[in-house]
Amino acid sequence: MAAAVKHAEYPPDLSPEEQQYLLTNIKDWSIAHGLAVRPAPSFVSQAQDPSGVLATTAPITLFPSLFPRSCFEQGLAIQNAYNELYSAIARDEEWLKGIVEELIHVDDFVERLWNVHLEVKKEGYVQDLSLGLFRSDYMVHSDQSSHSLGIKQVEFNTIASSFGGLSSRVSSMHRHLLYIDAYPSSSSSIIKADALRQSKATSSLALGLAAAHSAYGSSRTGLPLCVLFVVQDPERNVFDQRHLQYALLEESGVHAFRLPFHQTLSDTKADLDRNLLYTPPSSPSTTYEVTTIYFRAGYSPDDHPREEDWTARVHLERSRAIKCPSILTQLAGCKKVQQVLATPHSPHLRRFLPDETLASRVLETFAPIYPLDESKAGQEARNLATNPDSACKYVLKPQREGGGNNIYRKAIPNFLKGLPQTHWPAYILMEMIEPPPLRNAILRNGEVQRGGVISELGVYGVCLWRKGSGESDKGEVLQNWEAGYLLRTKGDQSEEGGVAAGFGAVDSCCLVD
């Protein structure tokens, strides 16, 4: 890999004057273009800015990170197949039931999500369309035996796939910095126009929401139509979400409102036909019929502290609005599904992707993943995980979404010692992907940190499908497209990857052959 050769000289060293010019331009361009977040409370306290008007540059890399061109193209090319795959899983309730039943006694959150589905199923679903705004995350893996590079999947997100709004801007910013000669000429053979890749995620994800809005059809109530963004409150990463909302309005003319999840029951209701009606608190005399619910909340137990939050979840799920995602789609994103697909010689992938070529290309992107249950593969995994010598090549991940709770390498054996064995099946064991070493510099809260980094490529996908009515009708995919990319980069000393959580930065790709 050229990048492996070049990484020692990349990114280029900067004189103090070069660094100042680069940073000044980054700090100004980012705010001028909404590449921003609300500052963390540790940076600006609520007492200092009670109304929350301050903003700061989002955590970003000073340079676009090197990324192998073939891996980038592989990730984008395969996204349609992943959209097909996860749409098919979400439509296969029986199969999902088997997955969930393995988790239900060890993962309360999965159990509650499944119960939401069962409750709505009992009454009968009234909306057979589902929207997925997916993001498939990969790292570059250097195969020691074949000496080739490929991407290996870290996780597949089926709910609240974030940073699409900022990823478009960070790739624009890196291109701008190149254009104004903010990168030293010593790097001009690497950072060049045809190596940088613009992410179209903002516009493309917004088009996905517009497609669902349109597929919903005309108003059944005579009320005006809208999309709801169901969000956390407060939300520091609000501009990422706002950029989608603005694109949805400007490019498709579709109105959307932000609904804090905890206000769901007070601000929405379902009529007798289960049309979802939203009355903005700011406009009590105007009620909207909701076509599409876009969840940017609801992916973690923390979003459901009260019993009524589950009532709210049922209320939304049973409504006629198209969910992005539905409960079944959310469940399709649990790590257990990824593990079941990626367990060597698994028969499941072909069940959902009958096309052998597509299936084999997807299979290439799986890193070996083992269950921690009492199956044969599970027993093998338990031996690997409890032995400090072998555990150091693995990561232990909880089955559910959201990130932030992974256990890495040497920490695994002790962690498992502290956990009753009956709870072990709530985790999967995944071989660590070993990416080629890279360096970059990250700007966060005004401070620059340089050093070794690890980058994760996220490829967005939009998929709209109709679920089938039963055995003879398995439904169909109505829309399916790759929707741009995100590069997230973190220091290689850190072992968590969420930018918003404070451990990484939004980045863009500088492709190398």
Q: Does 40 bind a second copy (CB under 8 A)?
A: no
Angle between helices 108-123 and 93-103 (to 10 degrees): 150
Q: What ranges make up the beta strands (E) of 199-287?
A: 225-231, 256-260, 268-270, 276-278
How far apart CA 155 and CA 409 sit, in angstroms, is 18
Rounded to a whole number of angstroms, the minimum distance from the CB of residue 28 to a second copy is 5
80 is in an annotated binding site: no
Q: How far is the CB of 429 from a second copy (least distance, A)?
A: 40
- Whole-number Å distance between alpha carbons of 256 and 294: 10
| Interactions with a second copy, residue window 349-408 (CB under 8 A) | none
Please return the burial class of 24, using the count of CB atoms within 10 Å of its CB with bins 0-12, 13-18 and 19+.
exposed
488 is catalytic: yes
Q: Are 458 and 473 in contact (CB under 8 A)?
A: no
**246 is a contact residue toward a second copy (CB under 8 A):** yes
Please tell me whether residue 54 binds a second copy under the rule CB under 8 A.
yes
Grouping H, G, I as helix, E, B as strand and the rest as coil, residue 53 is coil
| Of 87, 136, 157, 326, catalytic | 157
Residue 378 counted as an annotated binding residue: no
Instruction: Give the nearer residue to a second copy in terms of CB position, either 97 or 242.
Output: 242
Q: Which of 13, 41, 105, 179 binds a second copy (CB under 8 A)?
A: 179
Tokens of 35: 């590449």
Residue 449 binds a second copy (CB under 8 A): no
Nearer to a second copy, 33 or 269 (CB): 33
**CB neighbours of residue 502 within 10 Å:** 14
Note whether 281 and 236 are within 8 A (CB).
no
d(CA 90, CA 323): 12
Residues 182-211 that bind a second copy (CB under 8 A): 182, 184-185
Q: Per the residue annotation, which of 152, 197, 200, 335 is the catalytic one?
A: 335
* Secondary structure of residue 173 in the 3-state scheme: helix
Among 1, 3, 10, 23, binds a second copy (CB under 8 A): 23
Residue 317 is a catalytic residue: no
Which part of the chain contacts a second copy (CB under 8 A), choosing from 42-50, 90-98, 414-422, 457-465?
42-50
Q: Is 445 left (phi over 0), alpha (psi -120 to 50) or beta?
A: left
Transcribe 72-134 into DSSP letters: HHHHHHTHHHHHHHHHHHHT-HHHHHHHHHHHTTT-HHHHHHHHHHHHHHHH--S--EEEEEE
Closest CB to a second copy among residues 150, 165: 165
User: Which residue out of 323, 397, 444, 467 is catalytically annotated?
Assistant: 397
Please report whether residue 450 would count as binding a second copy according to CB under 8 A: no
Catalytic annotation on 251?
Answer: no
Which of residues 141, 243, 304, 313 is near a second copy by CB under 8 A? 243
Q: How far is the CB of 193 from a second copy (least distance, A)?
A: 14
- Residue of 269, 278, 263 whose CA lies nearest to 318: 269
Q: Six-digit token pair at 449? A: 């940190």
Answer yes or no: 401 catalytic.
yes
CB of 500 or CB of 512, closer to a second copy: 500
Q: How does strand 509-512 pair with strand 65-68?
A: parallel
**194: three-class secondary structure by DSSP:** helix
Active site annotation includes 274: no
Spot the catalytic one: 84, 155, 289, 482: 155
Binding residues: 135, 155, 157, 159-162, 235-237, 241, 296-299, 335, 397-406, 408, 430-433, 456, 488, 490, 496, 499-500
Catalytic residues: 135, 155, 157, 162, 335, 397, 401-402, 488
Residues that bind a second copy (CB under 8 A): 15, 17-18, 20-24, 27-29, 31-34, 36, 39, 44, 48-57, 179-182, 184-185, 238-239, 242-243, 246, 249, 255, 258, 280-286, 443, 445-447
